Structures are given as C-alpha cells and as structure tokens.
Amino acid sequence: MSKKQGKKLLRAGELAKATGARISTIKWYSEIGILPFEQAGTRLTRRYDKEKAIRRLKEIRQLQERGLNVEEIKERFV
C-alpha cells in the first residue's frame, strides 16, 4: 500500500483481498471505466484509492444484485 497526497492507494491484489473481488474483475472494471484508478510509478502500475474503490465495488455489487447488467451499471457511472 502506498500513500499519495494523504490517500491510501492499493494495488489490484490488495484491493481484491480487502473486498473479496477477483483481481481480473477489478482490472476489467477499470478497463471499461467503472472503477477509477491512478497510474503510479515508473511501471505505470494501477493504484486504487482505498476508500473510493471499496465504496465503488460495493455499489457495483448492489446494482448487480438488483439485476442490472454491466452495460447498465456503466451508464450510471460514466
């Protein structure tokens, strides 16, 4: 975990452990634009703001439980 301007930033694996989501799901959500991330370091590693990312993953799960598909969820966030 790293800190940037007071924010706790997590790698995909750390976020997966914190939420129970799969790493591949986290990366896919990032690629389609529903899970924001920052590029960090010389390797341009994806880092996720801990609080915002956990909140967003919970929102996505709740919407899925209500029957929304990924495209419908994407429309709400993008």
Q: What are residue 38's DSSP bridge partners?
A: 47
The mean pLDDT value for 60-76 works out to: 97
Q: Where does the pLDDT of residue 2 fall: very low under 50, low under 70, confident under 90, or very high at 90 and above?
A: low
Q: What is the CATH number of the domain that holds 47?
A: 1.10.1660.10
Instruction: Give tens-digit pLDDT for 52-65.
Output: 999 999 999 999 99
Q: Where does the pLDDT of residue 7 fall: very low under 50, low under 70, confident under 90, or very high at 90 and above?
A: confident
Mean pLDDT computed over every residue of the chain: 92
pLDDT for the residue 34: 97
On the 0-12 / 13-18 / 19+ scale of CB atoms within 10 A, 12 is buried
Alpha carbon separation from 49 to 22, 35, 71 (Å, rounded): 17, 10, 23
If one counts the domains in the chain, the total is 1
Alpha carbon separation from 22 to 37, 39, 44, 76, 78 (Å, rounded): 16, 20, 21, 22, 22
CA angle 16, 63, 66 (to 5 degrees): 130
Residue 26, domain extent = 2-77
The mean pLDDT value for 39-60 works out to: 91
